[in-house]
Amino acid sequence: MERPRVVFLGTGGALNPERYQASMLVQAAGTSFLLDVGGGLGVVRRLLACQVDPLGVRHVFLSHRHLDHVGGLEPLLWYMFYDAFRTGSPPPPVDVYALPGSATAIRATLAAADASADRAFGERLSWRTPAAGAEIKLDGGAKLTLVGVNHLPPGGEAAACVITADGVRVVYSGDTRPCDALVEAARGADLLIHEVGGTEARAELLHRVGHSTAADAGRVAARAGVGALAMFHTPAPMWVSPEDMLAEARRHAPGVEVFLSEDGMTWDL
């Protein structure tokens, strides 16, 4: 049996020209979980570059409505549809998960753009909108839980998620300010993937726009007692040095393995 692993497909913030936008792949329990889909066709490029067949994706979690996290959904679905069509097969079944408010906003955006991949997939594409905290049982004995977090717009139902599979727990923050709900959800997790927008020197600005500092991420990891902390959603080096973010997070998370994720990196669990 292959060990569960995380593939960091896109690790950059919305305005970081040196990285792809937010998207993570968790491979466990014999299936693939895509956590956010970045923007545009980048998620497909990253999957192929990491030698992952996009047709193997069965579960897609969307953390919130912002396009750097969900703009890749339509291109991903169309790529899957036409790749299956090329071989004479129907598209694979795909379940998309989001909190109700986020799902409504995302689907409204797709409708406004006359996006049609959902019509092409038909019943093979399912939108699932569980309540925050509800545990969803998936194939292979895996479980998915959505957790409400603190991001913009107010009341927009942004979410983190917890994946439990093959005896490991992975927690993905989406975009969030420091958030007690995330700490509780991450307690004892093997890996916490937490967004970071910079260091404490710009804490007021980062919190105002709904994001966290490296120190915030370190404090969440320490309070939750996680095994490892992966920082993502990072700004370009012209704004803050990676070394400064790493040093700041490590100061606040003694005993936790802390690293800055990179596009294409894999992490075995």
Please report the DSSP string for 223-241 in residue order: HHT-SEEEEESBPPTTTS-
pLDDT, residue 3, reads 84
Q: Which amino acid is at 197?
A: G
Q: 79 and 41 in contact (C-beta within 8 Å)? A: yes
Query: Does the pLDDT value for residue 1 go beyond 60?
Result: no
The rounded distance, in Å, linking the Cα atoms of 118 and 161 is: 23
The two tokens of residue 49 are 């570059």
Residue that is written with structure tokens 């490029």 in the block: 45
Listed in sequence order, the residues at least 6 apart from 48 whose beta carbon sits closer than 8 Å to its beta carbon are 54
pTM across the whole model: 0.97
pLDDT, residue 120, reads 93
H helix count then E strand count, the chain:
9, 14
* pLDDT tens digits, one per residue of 125-155: 999 999 999 999 998 999 999 999 999 999 9
Residue that is written with structure tokens 């937010």 in the block: 22
pLDDT grade for 2, boundaries at 50, 70 and 90:
confident
* pLDDT tens digits, one per residue of 157-189: 999 999 999 999 999 999 999 999 999 999 999
Strand order of the β-sheet with 191-195 is 135-137, 143-148, 159-165, 168-172, 191-195, 228-232, 257-260
- Beta-carbon-side half-sphere exposure of residue 193 (alpha carbons within 13 Å): 34
Whether the CA torsion 210, 196, 189, 62 is positive or negative: it is positive
The rounded distance, in Å, linking the Cα atoms of 20 and 38 is: 7
Q: 57 and 138 in contact (C-beta within 8 Å)? A: no
The rounded distance, in Å, linking the Cα atoms of 16 and 213 is: 16
* pLDDT tens digits, one per residue of 204-249: 999 999 999 999 999 999 999 999 999 999 999 999 999 999 999 9
What's the Rg (C-alpha) of the chain?
17
Q: What are phi and psi of 115, to 5 degrees?
A: -65, 140
